[in-house]
Structure 1
Amino acid sequence: MTGLHVRSLLVTGANRGIGLGLVRHFLAMTNPPKWVFATCRDPKGERAQKLQNLASKHPNLVIITLEVSDPASIKAAAARVGEQLGGSGLNLLINNAGVVNLNTLDNETLEDMTQVYTTNTVGPLLMGQAFLPLLKKAAQGSPGSVLSCSKAAIVNMSSIGGSIQELYLWDQANVVSYRCSKVALNMLTKCQSQGYREHGILCVALHPGWVQTDMGSAAGHTHRAGGR
């Protein structure tokens, strides 16, 4: 993230794993953002304790309740962020929140498939829609025409698990619903990049590599697996 300069950013699923790591990184920057919005389902719960501890030390960290599968929750979060930002926009939206289940191809269910797809794919779609006005405002306030994360951007956290060509670690973990949701997320990102380019907003999908988190270890492998 060398050379990244943002006034404000938001990370979903920020109470643990990659999301929490990103929040810590931004707060530790030499020139940290004026506002770091960290969202999670239950900010006051035990799983958000590490995030709460950070907020007690960093006045520029704002924790916001957000359930990415709930349109009403997303709209409320966007309103809360807009209120905090005043007349300025949001530079960077990182759609990190995600879920996985360990179902095989034979026992995948409608309920599980729908739940994973709603969180991993529909959530980032609705987040992009709800925060578009704030992203556009940030883009309009940044000089130049070059798209960048420092200007205005949506970063969707994808995975090599969404690669149709690789079908990575299929024998170890089918995780069909997760794979399908990430394939769809990749296409969503492409659609967003086309639709939001005219507003000066960069849209990219990021594969972070395998990370030792609760989700990263869900399939039972602790070696470098290359998937989120």
Structure 2
Amino acid sequence: MSVELGGHIVVTGTNRGIGLELVRQLAEKTGVEAHIYACCREPEGTTAQALRELTLKHPGKITLIKLDLADEDSISAAVQTVGQRIGPDGLNLLINNAAVNKPDGMASLQNVRKSDMMDVFEVNVTGPFLLTKMFLPLLQRAVSRSKDKGDEMSCRRSAVINVSSLAGSIEKCPENFHFAHIYPYRTSKAALNMLTRCQAEDLSSQNILVMCIHPGWVRTDMGGEEAPLSSEDSVVGMLRVMSSLSRKHTGTLLDWEGNTIAW
């Protein structure tokens, strides 16, 4: 099954889990004109072996980019590298997927330190903020060169997708807090949701779509073995949702099945 996505696509946090699966399915399901820029902290390290194998399986379609979202200089260098490779076309889709949770396991009130809160916020909120800000000229360029006319919005034209979480919903917190305290992760995703709403308002006049998507509770290193959803099924749903997005979806939080989640 193909997806209605294409052009130049940047994905962060691609060495494992949902990010790796996003790269795999995008490489398999998009047309020959699509190119994926797969970002991770150590593209030459042992943790990126599966990612490097994907680049060999899809020669010419995936470019590995070194990116550490906790390092502003690394973000700037990654944006510059991608910009040089993209050329005049612009960036069609930025998927801010990378995220961390500290400390490992149940990050309850008693065992969370100030440094945990700050480290998680830096990667999960400040990182996507800076990356979107620095990529904005390339996102704007994609709008100007798009065949779509008027005020149309889509992930084929120019869009920012922030991978958020149900755990960041303030309204839903009483329903699920008991089995996942994770203070730093929850508060960072709530902040990412507000960042998304702000950017959506800011960029709507430029026809750049910005929204959040919840991938579900997925069996990854972060999600754990008890999670009911596989990375493959989650990403199938996420890409289906991304393919269907339009102006009415900018500034929203949807799950991998397209259902609206309360802020």
Give the TM-score range, shorter chain.
Answer: over 0.9
Moved over 3 A (4+): 220-224
Aligned to 1:202: 209
Distance 1:106 1:70 in 2: 28
Residues 38, 3 of structure 1: CA spacing in aligned structure 2 closer, same or farther, 3 A cutoff?
closer
Aligned partner of 2:237 in structure 1 is none
Aligned: 1:27 with 2:27: yes
Query: What's the % identity of the aligned pairs?
Result: 42
Cα 1:207–1:32 change in 2 (3 A) is farther
Aligned partner of 2:181 in structure 1 is 174
Equivalence map 1:1-228=2 (5 Å): 4-29=4-29, 31-58=31-58, 59-101=60-102, 102-142=106-146, 143-144=148-149, 145-167=151-173, 168-217=175-224, 221-223=226-228
| CA deviation string 1:74-102 (max 9, x = no partner) | 11001100111111101000000000123
Q: Contact 2:12–2:95 (CA<8 Å) still a contact in 1?
A: yes
Q: Offset of 1:56 from its aligned partner?
A: 1.4
Shift of 1:57: 2.2
> Residues of 1 paired with 2:30 and 2:38: CA distance?
19
Pairs aligned (count): 226
Deviation at residue 114 of structure 1 after TM alignment: 0.2
Task: Report SS of the residue matched to 1:174.
Answer: coil
The letter of the residue matching 2:135 is F
How far the C-alpha of 1:34 sits from its partner, in A, is 2.9
Deviation at 1:32, TM superposition (A): 4.5
Could you tell me how far apart the structure 2 residues matched to 1:223 and 1:208 are? 12
**In structure 1, how many angstroms separate the alpha carbons of the residues matched to 2:192 and 2:43?**
26
Tell me which amino acid in the other structure corresponds to 1:17. G
Structure 1 unaligned spans of 5+: none
Q: CA deviation at 1:223?
A: 3.8
- Are the counterparts in 1 of residues 6 and 30 from structure 2 also a CA contact under 8 Å? no
TM-score, normalising length: structure 2: 0.81
Contact 1:155 1:204 in 2 (8 A): yes
Q: Deviations over 1:125-157 (max 9, x none)?
A: 001101001111001111312111010000000
